[in-house]
């Protein structure tokens, strides 16, 4: 028996325009490096670690023994890699700000019309061995951070719990989305050679320890911190610095002018 008003067939899905608005969530960008960029990164690693290298570990929270610093001098020797990082940060900033300003079209148009300047502040490699780890932390004195993987353990031992494999992985965490049905407080990724993650510097994250049949089974990664500004903000900062300099100069001139010395003025009774 056919039910009254029941359709003879499933209706075709309607096509309509959809706009996703998500201004309150931090964005993690995952990139797969092209072969030529990965080769340049490998050359950077070989150069940085070939001789006695400078440790960056004292400035980091990782429970890791070997963290060679990529100094500004070393960066200058690998312009292809450095330029790739700068361009990637600039693209991340534009994409992230498009999300942040999605509900303010005038501000968004103004920002997208700006020239963005980026700068790499610090860079270092991490030679992580079995049992070492990086606790939950953020990166300070910068706005954008990134991690890229060169090598993963070859003899890593599988975790004990099949339903929760976290050993050796990187976890990002945030609770800005408070709805438990449509938001998650953390996400975890398995490091793979050539994978790069870019994220806000104040995004909490951690790296889990792992076990291996080989005590020297390395997981090698590179991290860097970056800053950015727009041309307009840079000009404002320069104007402010110039005004501060002029005010300081006037103050020193005033100090040298005895006629303006008020230190000997007696207080009235």
**C-beta neighbour count of 135 within 10 angstroms:** 10
Write down the residue that tokens 């997981």 correspond to. Answer: 219
19 — pLDDT class (breaks 50, 70, 90)? confident
Q: Are 42 and 119 in contact (CB under 8 A)?
A: no
Helix (H) or strand (E) holding 62, with range, is none
Residue-wise pLDDT for 84-138, tens only, equals: 999 999 999 999 999 999 999 999 999 999 999 999 999 999 999 999 999 999 9
Q: For residue 170, what pLDDT is reported?
A: 96
pLDDT at 5: 54
Distance (Å, whole) CA 200 – CA 194: 20
The answer on pLDDT for 3 being more than 70 is: no
Among 17-31, 132-146, 164-178, the range of highest mean pLDDT: 132-146
Alpha helices in 61-179 (DSSP H): 72-76, 79-100, 105-112
Residue 14 above 80 pLDDT? no
Neighbour count for residue 157 (Cβ, 10 Å): 15
Q: Which of 12-21, 68-77, 145-154, 210-219 has the lowest mean pLDDT?
A: 12-21
Spatial distance between the Cα atoms of 195 and 33, rounded to a whole number of angstroms: 6
> β-pairing, 144-151 with 195-200?
antiparallel
Place of tokens 């001789």: 51
Q: Are 208 and 169 in contact (CB under 8 A)?
A: yes
**Is residue 268 predicted with pLDDT exceeding 50?**
no
Instruction: Assess whether pLDDT exceeds 50 at residue 262.
Output: no
Domains and CATH numbers, the chain: 29-235 (2.60.120.620)
Q: Please spell the DSSP secondary structure of 138-198, one letter per residue.
A: ---S-SEEEEEEEE--SSBPPPS-TT---TT-EEEE--S---TTT--SEEEE---TTEEEE
Average pLDDT, the chain: 89
Residue 263: is its pLDDT beyond 60? no
Residue 259: pLDDT above 80? no
Residue keyed to tokens 């300070």: 140
pLDDT band at 15 (very low <50, low <70, confident <90, very high): confident
How does pLDDT run across 174-226, given as a tens digit for each residue? 877 777 788 888 899 999 999 999 999 999 999 999 999 999 999 999 999 99
Which of 29-33, 165-169, 262-266 reaches the highest mean pLDDT? 29-33
pTM above 0.85, yes or no: no
Count the Cβ atoms, other than its own, within 10 Å of residue 197: 21
- C-alpha distances in Å from residue 195, one per residue of 51, 63, 200: 27, 23, 17
How do strand 219-230 and strand 116-128 relate by DSSP bridges?
antiparallel
In this predicted structure, what is the pLDDT of residue 161?
84
Closest CA to 40 of 65, 14, 71, 75: 75
């Amino acid at each position: 028996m056919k039910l009254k008003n029941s359709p003879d067939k499933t209706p075709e899905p309607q096509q309509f325009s959809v706009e996703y608005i998500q201004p309150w969530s931090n964005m993690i960008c995952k990139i797969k490096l092209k072969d030529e960029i990965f080769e340049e990164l490998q050359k950077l690693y070989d150069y940085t670690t070939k001789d006695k290298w400078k440790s960056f570990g004292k400035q980091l929270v990782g429970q890791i023994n070997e963290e060679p610093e990529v100094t500004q001098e070393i960066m200058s020797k690998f312009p292809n890699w450095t330029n790739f990082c700068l361009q990637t940060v600039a693209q991340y900033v534009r994409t992230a700000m498009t999300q942040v300003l999605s509900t303010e079209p005038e501000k968004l148009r103004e920002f997208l019309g700006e020239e963005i300047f980026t700068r790499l502040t610090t860079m270092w490699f991490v030679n992580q061995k079995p049992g070492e780890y990086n606790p939950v932390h953020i990166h300070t004195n910068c706005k954008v951070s990134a991690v890229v993987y060169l090598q993963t353990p070859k003899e890593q031992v599988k975790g004990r719990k099949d339903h929760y494999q976290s050993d050796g992985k990187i976890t990002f965490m945030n609770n800005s989305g408070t709805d438990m049905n449509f938001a998650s407080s953390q996400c975890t990724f398995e490091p793979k050679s050539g994978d790069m993650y870019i994220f806000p510097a104040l995004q909490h994250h951690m790296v889990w320890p792992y076990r291996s049949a080989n005590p020297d089974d390395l997981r090698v990664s590179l991290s860097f911190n970056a800053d950015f500004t727009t041309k307009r903000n840079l000009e404002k900062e320069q104007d402010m610095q110039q005004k501060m300099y002029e005010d300081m100069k006037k103050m020193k001139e005033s100090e040298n002018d005895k006629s303006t010395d008020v230190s000997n003025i007696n207080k009235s009774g």
